[in-house]
Each structure stands twice: as C-alpha cells, then as structure tokens.
Structure 1
Amino acid sequence: MLTTQYVPGAPNWLDLGAPDMDAATAFYGAVFGWTFRSAGPDAGGYGFFQLDGKTVAGAGPLTEEGARPAWTVHFHTPDVDALAKSVEQAGGTVRFGPCDVFTAGRLAGFTDPAGAEFAAWQPGDTPGMELVGATHALCWTELYTTDAAAAKTFYRSVFSWETVDKEMGGEVVYTIASPAGTDPDGDAGHAGIMQMAPENVAGGSTPEWHPYFAVEDCDATVATSTERGAIAIHPPVDAEGVGRLAMLRDPFGAVFAVITPSVG
C-alpha cells in the first residue's frame, strides 16, 4: 500500500518521458482527468501532472540521447550519492547524476544489472508525489525482469527491501517488496518483481519498471485508452484477491498498467 509518508526505499516520485508533451497531456487528461502544470521557464519543458490540484506525477520531453518514451519509478533515499555507490557495488550502473534539481531535491538515474531503468529521489523542498493510492493515482509499482532471483538480491542490497514470494500457479512466482523493517506480506508492500516469460523475451521484451494506476472501471479505462491511441498489451483480467487489471502501451510507447482493486 502506497502512502505519502515516504520512507527510504519506497516509491516517492514517478515521471514520464515523452516526445510530444502536448499530445501526452491530452492523452492522460482524457484517460485519468489529469492536468499539466509547467515547472517554470527554466525547467526545460518539465512539469507536473495533477489531479484536483495535487501532483500525481512529473513529465517532460525526452532529453537523454537514445532515450525511449517511458515511465520512470523513483525510490526515496536520504543520501542519493551514497546510493549511487551502492548501485555500482551491486552491479548496476549510474545513467545520470547525482544532481540537484533546484531546491526540490537531489536526483540520480540508474540501470539494474538486467537492464531495467529506475531512479532515486532525495527530497529537498519536494518530498514526493502529493497523491498516491487513490483513484487515478499511482497505487503499485512492478518490475519485469529476466532474472528475478538476481533482481531480489540487487534491490535488497541497494534499498534494504524486505521481500516475500507468492506462488501464483503454473510455477509462476510473484515477489512482493516493502521498505526495510516492514512486512511485505502486509500493507507495507510497494512493489512486485516478476520473472519475464521466455516467449516475451523471445518477442523482444526487455526488463522494465512500470507503474499501476488505480481506476474505478478497468475495462472502461482500457477502452478510453485504446480509443486515444494506446495498445492493450494485456487486456483486462481478474486476479483473485487483487482486482481487475490490464497493461497498456501509451501512444508514444510508454508502458503502464491500470487496476480496479478488489473490495475488502
């Protein structure tokens, strides 16, 4: 369960890199009712997706050479410089930073040993997203990877996460992660780690982190998304005890998921 009471290792920021910010604002506005507020003339086109005046994510034009449209999950850290060293010691790489973002905080981007990109945010004036765990806001994060065992070792080393494995049937194992000192089997879980199916790897899929947004009607949201140019990678399906969920690729290529959580 995500909360804005951010602790080390928990997701505290999320942003979208897109090739066309006007088109991205129009798409996500239609799907989730978000509006876009610029971070100012010196922010290079970066700004904030907001819902009822509260920031649910950041967004900006692609700036890294060779970068592809994607959602990037950021995890809280009290010391991003020390974290960068931990990432390298654990076999990951530093993509950019650490660097200051005005007085908002300190940022760095990383790639884990399997190739999944993520980032870390050391709060300054901006602790993180202002709304999570609500309808049309981030409610879960998930890693698809080619080596789930190695991923668990890496992220436990870097963020001191607690993890628990859940048997999903058909030899599928889903790992739930939570911040250090918490129970991943309870309400503290914030991320899932899942081994990619061989056929997906053969089809060209690569390791990635992606966000889940809570919605009131998964099927209706998927319909609106596809009408606006998204592709349903995984159509709506029921997950017992979890909810009804689907995975989409937005019109620009960024992957995200939506879920109508189970009640009770």
Structure 2
Amino acid sequence: MHGEPSFFEIGVPDAKRAKAFYGRLLAWTFHPMGEGDQAWVETPTTRGGLHDQDSECRIDVFFSVPDIDGAVTAVRELGGQAEDPRPEEPGFGRFAFCQDDQGVRFGLHQPPAA
C-alpha cells in the first residue's frame, strides 16, 4: 500500500459560507451535490466534498488503498479503529472513516475499478 491522498472532505455548519471562503482563497470550483449547499470540490489535483450542518467542523483526508477491506483490517490489527467500509458509490468507489492508534481521524478510499 502506498496511501497517496486521494480525496478530502470538509464538514462545516454553513456550506454556502465555506464555498465563498475557500473559493476566494484557493480558487476552487464547487459543483452541486446532494441537498442544500452541499458540493463536490474541484481542485487542480484532488477531488473533495463539502457538506454542511456539521457541528464538528473538520477536514478529513482520505488515503487511496487498493483493497479497502484489507486496509480496514490492518488499521484494527495496528491498534486503530475503523468503521466498516461503505458500499460502492458509482464513480467514486468505497471509503471508511478511521482513527490511528492515538485517535487521529483519517479516511481510507478505494477508487472505483477502471
């Protein structure tokens, strides 16, 4: 496993406000997704997601793995915690939220099959 960053997700109370902030600061492009002001984020190198009504303001980084089930098992064997991987999302793949053995939150992402 090489684990390159492949996706990020921003959770905020107000997505419209976050789009204005990050759009002006980093020149990101936002595309509507889901309900309300949620969006997927287009950057020159990495795709992201933005969702609102999140009381736990955060940015999560997801690392690419070829086998998410095996990676989740490895997280648990190494003393971390991992949710069970989510079902395949068309065009995106599968993902799971995890914590390392010190409680640091991160995600694992298995891109869709080519």
Alignment TM class, shorter chain as reference: 0.7 to 0.9
Q: In the superposition, relative to structure 1, how do residues 9 and 62 fare at CA in structure 2: closer, same or farther (>3 Å)?
A: farther
SS of aligned partner of 2:87: strand
Partner of 1:102: 89
Structure 1 residue 115 corresponds to structure 2 residue 109: no
Does structure 1 residue 47 correspond to structure 2 residue 39? yes
Q: 1:116 to 1:62 in 2, by over 3 A?
A: farther
Report deviation, 1:45. Answer: 5.8
* Post-superposition offset of 1:55: 5.7
Q: Report the structure number with the largest CA radius of gyration.
A: 1
Measure, in 1, the Cα distance between the counterparts of 2:98 and 2:38.
20
The verdict on how the C-alpha distance between 1:89 and 1:48 changes in structure 2, with shifts beyond 3 A counting, is same
Check the 8 A contact 1:8/1:78 in 2, yes or no. no
User: Does the CA contact (< 8 Å) of 1:62 and 1:68 recur in 2?
Assistant: no
Unaligned runs of 5+ in 2: none
Paired with 2:49 and 2:112, the residues of 1 have a C-alpha distance of 16
Distance 1:100 1:26, change over 3 A: same
What is the Cα deviation at residue 113 of structure 1? 1.3
Q: 1:32 to 1:109 in 2, by over 3 A?
A: same
The answer to whether the 8 Å contact 2:7/2:46 transfers is no
Cα root mean square deviation, aligned: 2.6
Aligned residues of 1:20 and 1:61 also touching (Cα < 8 A): yes
Q: Which residue of 1 aligns with 2:74?
A: 86
Which protein, 1 or 2, shows the higher relative CO under an 8 Å CA cutoff with sep ≥ 6? 2
**1:58 Cα deviation after fit:** 1.8
Note closer, same or farther for the CA distance 1:72–1:51 as it changes in structure 2 (3 Å cut). Answer: closer
Q: CA deviation at 1:81?
A: 1.3
**1:9 corresponds to which residue?**
3
Larger strand share, 1 or 2: 1
**How far apart are residue 57 of structure 1 and its match?**
2.2
In the TM superposition, structure 1's runs of 4+ consecutive aligned residues that sit over 6 Å from their partners are none
| Cα 1:124–1:62 shift into 2, 3 Å | farther
Which residue among 48, 51, 59 is the counterpart of 1:57? 48
Structure 1 residue 38 and structure 2 residue 28: aligned? Answer: no
Q: Deviations over 1:186-222 (max 9, x none)?
A: xxxxxxxxxxxxxxxxxxxxxxxxxxxxxxxxxxxxx
